[in-house]
Amino acid sequence: MRRFTNPWLHDEHRFRDVLRWKAGIAPKDPLSAAPDHPAPAVPIALEGAPQDGWRVTWLGHASFLLQGCGRNLLVDPVFSDHCAPLPFPSLKRQVPAPCRADELPEIDAVLLSHSHYDHLDLATLRTLGKETPLLVPEGHAGWLGKQGFREVREVSWFGSGEILPGIRATATPAQHFTARTPFDRNRAHWCGWLLEGGGVKLWHAGDSAWCPAFREIGERLGPVDFGMIPIGAYSPRWFMKPMHMNPEEAVQVFRETRCRRAVAMHWGTFRLTDEPLGEPPLRLAEELVRQGIPAASFMAGSIGESWLVRG
């Protein structure tokens, strides 16, 4: 059976490294003075798709509602209380979801970046309905089909298609891995998604370390009007660097993919790694100052917040 890889050189860690990290016998990052509180939240305003442009709403962690061209799409929707196969207390949501999945407007399609539990939540997908079209990277259609989902379409890196009239989606490369059980490591691929419609380009980076593909994404598909870029789950660095970018690398990705504006994601919602929950936006703000980028260009927003994007 096929296993997917990242097609460039990078460090890799194995199961025994997970044990070293969890047992506390591996090196720790320097202690941080950042506050350990989750992302701020604001009441969500659930409206229809805007007449002109797109409305992007952060639903927490890597979950977004994208509304444009008269359509409602979701990326990586997770509404469950835990991002784990069992309700492990350590993987409990640290801030409530801004609404319930069944309160969302009728969803026309869902884009999924990969199969990790903090991105692919079967309970949420079941609530949306098994006929909802799902767009996935390669290797997901078989098992999602077995779960009863009837409209699953796989797309390979830089593969692209019109998913709804006037809306084109392109899968973009990322450096990551997949596993839902101890037995399916890298049996399915991982990606980000570029969405084009109504003269606007939105880009969700997926879950990724920094990698050379981001420059190529910028050259082939940029500039991006609005990016959604991960900034959290990076500590300890020796272990997380091959799978998750840190805020400084996220700013590099913002530049390389030629984002005009972006919002930070993959932070402040679930406690996945060692850094305090409130550290990623502080490091993002410092790096933006250091690189002379306005804070309004790459925002660390609030869960439930919406942004209007025009081309």
Give residues in contact with Zn ion (CB under 5 A).
116, 118, 207
Strand partners, 259: 224
CB nearer to Zn ion: pick between 116 and 241: 116
Provide, rounded to whole angstroms, the least separation between the CB of residue 188 and Zn ion: 11
Provide, rounded to whole angstroms, the least separation between the CB of residue 63 and Zn ion: 11
Sign, CA dihedral 86-232-249-27, equals negative
- Cβ-contact 197, 108 below 8 angstroms: no
Which tokens in the block code for residue 283? 């490091």
Provide, rounded to whole angstroms, the least separation between the CB of residue 269 and Zn ion: 10
238 in helix, strand or coil? helix
CB nearer to Zn ion: pick between 201 and 283: 283
Q: What is the radius of gyration, based on Cα positions, of the chain?
A: 18
User: Going edge to edge, which strands form the sheet with 64-68?
Assistant: 152-155, 134-137, 109-111, 71-75, 64-68, 54-58, 306-309
Using CA atoms, how far apart are residues 212 and 224, in angstroms rounded to an integer? 17
- Cβ-contact 114, 151 below 8 angstroms: no
Using CA atoms, how far apart are residues 244 and 240, in angstroms rounded to an integer? 6
CB nearer to Zn ion: pick between 93 and 116: 116
Cα distances from 18 to residues 25, 53, 70, 220, 238, in angstroms, run: 11, 44, 45, 36, 11
Provide, rounded to whole angstroms, the least separation between the CB of residue 189 and Zn ion: 12
The upper half-sphere exposure of residue 157, i.e. CA atoms within 13 Å in the direction of its Cβ, equals: 19
CB nearer to Zn ion: pick between 207 and 274: 207
Provide, rounded to whole angstroms, the least separation between the CB of residue 178 and Zn ion: 7
Following CA atoms 30, 35, 36, 40 in sequence, which dihedral angle do they give, to the nearest 10 degrees? -140
Provide, rounded to whole angstroms, the least separation between the CB of residue 145 and Zn ion: 22
Provide, rounded to whole angstroms, the least separation between the CB of residue 193 and Zn ion: 15
CB nearer to Zn ion: pick between 67 and 208: 208
Q: Are strands 134-137 and 152-155 parallel, antiparallel or unpaired?
A: parallel
CB nearer to Zn ion: pick between 207 and 305: 207
- Cβ-contact 163, 189 below 8 angstroms: no
Q: Which residue is nearest to Zn ion (CB)?
A: 116
Provide, rounded to whole angstroms, the least separation between the CB of residue 174 and Zn ion: 9
